[in-house]
Structures are given as C-alpha cells and as structure tokens.
Amino acid sequence: MNPMPPTHDDSEDTEHTPAQRAAAASRSTWVSVLVNLLLSATQIAAGLLTRSQGLVADGVHSLSDLIADFVVLLANHHSQKDADEDHPYGHHRYETAASLVLGLLLLAVGLGMLGSAITKLQQPDAIPRVHMAALWVALGALTSKELLFRYMLAVAKRVKSSMLVANAWHARSDAASSLVVGIGIIGNLAGYPILDPIAAAIVGFMVAKMGWEFGWDALHDLMDRAVDEEEVAAIRRTLVETPGVMDVHDVRTRKMGDMVVVDAHIEVAADLTVEAGHEIAVEARRRVLQRHRVLNLMTHVDPWRRPDGDHSPAPCGRP
C-alpha cells in the first residue's frame, strides 16, 4: 500500500472538505458495487457451469468485495457526522473501524477458500476438467478488476482516505486472484486438472494475507498509533516557524481516522503577557490546521529564556 503524503500542499489537486471526501468516496464505492455485483454473479454461475473451482472461488471473492463496499458506504456516511457530546472529536474512527471489518472479512473469506481447495486436493482423481468458457470469463474478470483498482486508488489518493485505499487494494487482490485462476484454468485445459484447485488455494492464501495486514493496521490505529516521523517533523516545523515561537517540544500525535490529533508544548519569550502568549498559540494552531491533515491541536505554552550568560539576540524575527 502506498503511503499517504505527510503534509498538505495547496498546489495538489485534492479534495479536502468532509463533504468533498464523502462525495468522492460514495461515487467510487458505488462504481465498485456495480462492477462486483456483475462479476460475482457471472463468475459463480460460469464456475458452476464449467466445473471450475478456481472460478467459483474468484466469484466468492468478488462477492466479498460487494459486501465490503456496503461496509465502506456505511462507514463513510457515519464518519461525516458532526462532533457531539459523546464524540467531541467527531466520528472519524468509523473509517478505521471499517478498515478493521474489511480486514476480518478478507481473512475469513481467504481461510474459507483455502480450506475448500485443500479438501479438493485431497481427492485429485475427482477433480473434473473445466470448459474453455471458464478461461474467457476469468480473463474478462481480470481486466475489469484491474481497471477498477486503478480508478479506486486514484480517488483514494485524491481524497487521502486510508479506508478507500484499503478497498482499492481489495480490488487489486481480486485482479491478482483472477490472474492466478486464469493460469489454473489454462493448466486444467492442458491436461493438469489439479492446477484448478491449486489456483483456488493460492487465491485463498492471498486474500487471507491481505485481510490480516489490513486488520492489523486498523487495530493499531484504533489504539492511538502515532503518525510517521516525517509527518511529525513537518508539523513541528510549522510550529517552530510561527512568529513568536522560540522552540517546540513534546509533540505527540494520534490518528483519528484519516485525520490527526496533536498535542505540543510551544515556548515563547518569558517576558510576554499571558494574552500575547495566547495569541501566538492561536496562530500556531491556525497554521497547523491549515497546512496539515490535523483535526485538532492542543498547545501548552511554556516560558523560553536565554541560557545564563547568553546575551545574543533572539532568533531572527522573534522577540
């Protein structure tokens, strides 16, 4: 999964407001719903008619995508709710919870397909030959899923949504699984029937692995995991560059869905009035919220004094 850009750049063609992000997420997910609805029905029906276990497994994978899409739509709706008395920071973690559900869903589906394929491999003589039509359905599914992945990932990057990134890579796992299934069907048609359930087992393993990774990442985010060091350094730099801020320490972050909550201690000249120090803190907060994907910044103002015996002027542009 590609990492999110750590800082905000006004020159980027991105959609930042909650309404824009919600609309983009809804559009891309409904496209995925329509594609997966068509694919799952076609693959499962064709797999049963052509006696291809790999194609049926791929169809079940597409069906899990369809369920995942509705989970994303539900989470996207709830995550846009305004803050209330019970949720003073808003409902952004609905997205993280949705990513966890997606991960668990993928893990369960993958393990189920893997178990089914292993059962079939224990009876190699009972594996049927598949019909040529199964290969054409697999190739069509592969093309559709790869195009869907590229579209969904582009939208996810534009709105900077980890939930949509997870769903996009879910679509890519479908494309990879269709490729494996296609190879298995080709092997079956060439006289090696065992390759079809082997392909189904590989698909199951791929799906389970991706589900574990998504679920594990979401679980850590729900436990207040900090953002990466590069993004923390960028936030600290914005604070230090605020006029009146002499130094910054104890910058702590925690993820809140795709947003970030920050706590920081800023140091201002010790001889300033309380009002002046407060105004500097307000300006520092404004800059951080404007330049970064920060939901809220809590600042603690500390006095800054020159080291004993140091009569040099303060840093350029500061008191």
**End-to-end distance of the chain based on CA atoms, in angstroms?**
45
User: Who's near 223: CB < 8 A, 6+ residues apart?
Assistant: none
Question: One digit per residue, pLDDT tens: the chain, 319 residues?
Answer: 444 444 444 434 444 566 666 677 778 778 888 888 888 889 889 988 888 888 887 787 777 777 766 766 666 665 566 665 665 565 566 677 777 887 888 888 888 878 878 887 887 777 778 888 888 998 898 888 888 888 888 888 877 776 677 777 767 777 777 888 888 889 888 888 888 888 888 878 877 887 888 788 888 777 767 788 888 999 999 999 999 999 999 898 888 776 788 999 999 998 889 999 999 999 999 999 988 888 889 889 999 876 654 544 455 445 4
The reported pLDDT for the residue numbered 285 is 92
In sequence order, what DSSP letters do the residues of 60-73 get, joined into one string? HHHHHHHHHHHHHH
Angstrom distance (rounded) from CA 169 to CA 97: 17
The reported pLDDT for the residue numbered 91 is 57
Say if residues 21 and 159 touch (Cβ distance below 8 Å).
yes
Question: For the chain, which domains are there?
Answer: 18-222 (1.20.1510.10), 229-304 (3.30.70.1350)
DSSP assignment letter at 302: E
Angstrom distance (rounded) from CA 297 to CA 30: 35
Say if residues 145 and 174 touch (Cβ distance below 8 Å).
yes
Q: Are strands 247-256 and 294-304 parallel, antiparallel or unpaired?
A: unpaired
Q: Please, what is the Cα angle at 70 between 137 and 45, to 5 degrees?
A: 25
Angstrom distance (rounded) from CA 50 to CA 132: 8
Say if residues 57 and 200 touch (Cβ distance below 8 Å).
yes
Question: Is the torsion defined by CA of 233, 235, 240, 241 positive or negative?
Answer: positive
Say if residues 27 and 158 touch (Cβ distance below 8 Å).
no
The reported pLDDT for the residue numbered 80 is 61
